[in-house]
């Protein structure tokens, strides 16, 4: 059918209109998809995607035997991020109902705002997290976080310290080694749909989290627990204001245990300092061991010579020096055993103040030990312009000097190991992700502080203190202890003299005497009514040593070296019999029958321990060491 001219015009107009419409649509699409693509891509990316932080797990902390003492647990936290007023209102109402708050309280309490991140509650229970996950409106979300956990409770917490809610170290080891333990957080992509529901987290992280290093402490948690238990019992038993103690390995300088106990301490779960390194005190008579080291090194002692101790009262210038008891003529050994102030002062005057002062510095007093733990004090060693006789005497018996407990423990470790002052260490090594030990710390000798021959003599004197002197209450039939007692008047806060009825009681020493392994100190503040170190701090030290011996019998085996001669042929071994509980006469007979020798230090008694232990193989004619409880009947 032939169209009229008008119909052709109409069709042409319609076709042109359709082409124009689609042309405009195409041009608009080109404009949006090409020219404005970068801008709208950014908007879409911002609305539908983002990044989340992937927290790096904090490193685990172990004790020297591999016991976990600081770990991580996973907890959920709730936060708000409302996109509009509607979500904001609903989130506020939900939180009011969830936490039983008055209507409208949550919005102001938690500072809820649109497009603003706000924490609501961190580390909530699993039950509450499950409830929120199924009932919370848009604008409220859950996030998984790790929380620091201490499986051993408050044991060792003063050393470990604690972390804040963001897992940052706040005190103790957690703070000192935070840079190693913390690691670095990572990042990952997220995707949301049109209603802002999270539907995908990219499996591969944009930035992988770096795990915190796991570290191994030198602390023996068994000894740490014993120390804390005995300090608690001792403070209560002797009515002391507080107590503290520190124990170290004599030959490596590794710190095995440190603790303080104050019944009035607030928030023990969040300790801010460790008093064994932060508190300083005048040591009193335990410092006489350092004076003795200086005197012995100067060759001023003839062991057969005696010194007149003035029957307990000696005037030096305008001052008068007193002994606790009236002593006449005493040898140097007796001066140490009976803790004569006058006797040690007379030897110190022969030595001179400058040499005594230098010896104190050599032993590390007046200097920080660099444990890296916060609050460590350097102590104080008095150095006057002119040494008067009384000032020399005061320093010799442990006055005019301030120390902390760890300094004194390291000093006695130096005496025990033959005269080498060691750098104390708290970190043994780190642990790789595969569980291997790495970066093990080396032994560091700071300096030699006394001759080995002097150390040998001094150790014998300190054993005499326990056997016959002021520390007989420390003597033990289970482990041989050597050391020195201290009973020092406490300095008045205004610096004007001393309290006459307030004392610091202490005992510093090492064990076992024959082959020292562990050195340490126990200090009690203001014990009463008995205030002597030999009757208070000393027995606590003894119980710590005895209890530790029970769980480490092989550690304290005196005379444990096996003697092997060239005449013994390979394969000719015998089995060590069980001698514990037998009389010495019976034990000698059994040992002789087996072809081994028994080390004898007395003629009678009962065997209470032995080394090597029963069933061990040794060579004929080897020597077995043993501990003997002498008969009292």
Q: Residues 142-177: pLDDT tens digits?
A: 877 788 899 999 999 999 999 988 888 899 999 999
What is the pLDDT, as a whole number, of residue 562? 26
Which residues make beta-bridge pairs with 431?
A: 214, 437
- For residues 104 and 94, the answer to whether their CB atoms sit within 8 Å is no
CATH fold for domain 52-217? Penicillin-binding protein 2a (Domain 2) (3.90.1310)
What phi and psi, each to the nearest 5 degrees, are found at residue 425?
-130, 145
What is the pLDDT, as a whole number, of residue 174? 94
Q: Measure CA 508 to chain center.
A: 19
What is the pLDDT, as a whole number, of residue 34? 76
Q: Give the predicted TM-score (pTM) of the model.
A: 0.76
Residue ranges per structural domain of the chain: 5-35, 52-217, 221-265+273-556, 574-629
Q: Residues 563-596: pLDDT tens digits?
A: 222 333 334 556 777 776 677 777 777 777 777 7
Q: Residues 480-507: pLDDT tens digits?
A: 999 999 999 998 888 778 888 899 999 9
Q: pLDDT category, 123, cuts 50, 70, 90?
A: confident
What is the pLDDT, as a whole number, of residue 14? 84
Distance between CA atoms of 287 and 295, rounded to whole angstroms?
A: 13
- For residues 209 and 183, the answer to whether their CB atoms sit within 8 Å is yes
The average confidence (pLDDT) of the chain is 84
What is the pLDDT, as a whole number, of residue 124? 85
The residue length of the chain stands at: 633
Q: Residue 288: which of 347, 364, 328 has the closest Cα?
A: 347
CATH of 221-265+273-556, one of 3.30.70.20, 3.40.50.300, 3.40.710.10, 1.10.760.10: 3.40.710.10
Distance between CA atoms of 595 and 599, rounded to whole angstroms?
A: 13
> Which range is least confidently modeled, 65-69, 289-293, 305-309, 618-622?
618-622
Distance between CA atoms of 64 and 403, rounded to whole angstroms?
A: 27
Q: pLDDT category, 404, cuts 50, 70, 90?
A: very high
What is the pLDDT, as a whole number, of residue 244? 97
> Domain 574-629, what architecture?
2-Layer Sandwich (3.30)
What is the pLDDT, as a whole number, of residue 563? 25
What is the pLDDT, as a whole number, of residue 623? 59
With a cut of 90, say whether residue 611 has pLDDT above it: no
What is the pLDDT, as a whole number, of residue 570? 39
Q: Residue 140: which of 94, 182, 108 has the closest Cα?
A: 94
Q: pLDDT category, 633, cuts 50, 70, 90?
A: very low
**Structure tokens, 205:** 């992280």
What is the pLDDT, as a whole number, of residue 468? 94
Distance between CA atoms of 107 and 93, rounded to whole angstroms?
A: 8
What is the pLDDT, as a whole number, of residue 622? 55
């Amino acid at each position: 059918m032939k169209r009229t001219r008008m119909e052709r015009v109409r069709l042409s107009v319609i076709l042109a209109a359709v082409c124009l419409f689609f042309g405009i649509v195409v041009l608009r699409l080109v404009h949006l998809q090409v020219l404005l693509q970068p801008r709208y891509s950014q908007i879409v990316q911002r609305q539908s995607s983002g990044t989340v932080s992937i927290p790096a797990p904090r490193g685990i902390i172990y004790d020297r035997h591999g016991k976990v003492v600081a770990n991580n647990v996973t907890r959920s936290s709730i936060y708000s991020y409302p996109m509009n007023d509607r979500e904001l209102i609903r989130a506020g109402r939900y939180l009011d109902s969830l936490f039983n708050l008055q209507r409208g309280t949550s919005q102001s309490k938690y500072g809820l705002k649109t497009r603003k991140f706000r924490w609501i509650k961190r580390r909530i229970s699993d039950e509450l997290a499950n409830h929120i996950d199924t009932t919370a409106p848009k604008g409220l979300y859950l996030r998984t976080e790790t929380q620091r956990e201490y499986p051993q409770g408050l044991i060792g917490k003063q050393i470990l310290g604690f972390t804040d809610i963001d897992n940052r170290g706040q005190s103790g080891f957690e703070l000192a080694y935070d840079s190693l333990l913390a690691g670095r957080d990572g990042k990952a992509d997220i995707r949301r749909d049109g209603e802002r529901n999270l539907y995908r987290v990219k499996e591969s992280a944009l930035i992988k989290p770096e795990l915190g290093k796991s570290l191994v402490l030198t602390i023996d948690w068994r000894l740490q627990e014993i120390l804390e238990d005995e300090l608690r019992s001792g403070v209560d038993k002797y009515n002391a204001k507080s107590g503290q103690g520190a124990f170290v390995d004599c030959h490596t300088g590794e710190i095995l245990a440190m603790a303080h106990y104050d019944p009035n301490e607030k928030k023990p779960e969040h300790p801010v300092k460790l008093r064994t390194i932060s508190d300083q005190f005048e040591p009193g008579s335990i410092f006489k061991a350092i004076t003795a080291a200086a005197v012995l090194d100067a060759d001023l002692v003839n062991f057969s010579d005696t010194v007149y101790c003035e029957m307990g009262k000696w005037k030096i210038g305008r001052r008068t020096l007193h002994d606790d008891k009236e002593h006449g003529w005493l040898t140097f050994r007796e001066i140490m055993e009976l803790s004569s102030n006058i006797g040690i002062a007379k030897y110190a005057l022969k030595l001179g103040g400058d040499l005594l002062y230098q010896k104190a510095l050599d032993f590390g007093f007046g200097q920080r030990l660099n444990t890296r733990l916060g609050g460590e004090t350097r102590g104080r060693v008095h150095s006057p312009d002119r040494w008067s006789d009384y000032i020399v005497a005061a320093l010799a018996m442990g006055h005019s000097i301030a120390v902390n407990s760890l300094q004194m423990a390291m000093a006695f470790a130096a005496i025990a190991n033959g005269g080498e002052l060691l750098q104390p260490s708290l970190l043994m090594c780190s642990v790789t992700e595969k569980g291997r030990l790495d970066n093990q710390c080396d032994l560091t000798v700071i300096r030699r502080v006394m001759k080995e021959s002097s150390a040998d003599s001094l150790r014998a004197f300190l054993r005499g203190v326990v056997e016959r002197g002021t520390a007989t209450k420390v003597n033990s039939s289970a482990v041989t202890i050597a050391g020195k007692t201290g009973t020092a008047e406490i300095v008045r806060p205004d610096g004007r003299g001393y309290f006459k009825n307030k004392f610091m009681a202490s005992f510093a020493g090492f064990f076992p005497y024959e082959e020292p392994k562990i050195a340490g100190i126990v200090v009690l503040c203001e014990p009463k009514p008995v205030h002597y170190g030999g009757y208070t701090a000393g027995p606590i030290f003894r119980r710590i040593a005895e209890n530790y011996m029970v769980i480490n019998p092989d550690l304290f085996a005196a005379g444990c070296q096996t003697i092997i001669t060239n005449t013994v042929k390979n394969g000719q071994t015998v089995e060590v019999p069980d001698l514990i509980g037998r009389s010495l006469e019976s034990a000698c007979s059994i040992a002789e029958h087996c072809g081994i020798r028994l080390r004898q230090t007395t003629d009678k008694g009962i065997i209470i321990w032995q080394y090597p232990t029963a069933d061990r193989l040794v060579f004929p004619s080897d020597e077995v060491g043993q501990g003997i409880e002498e008969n009292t009947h």
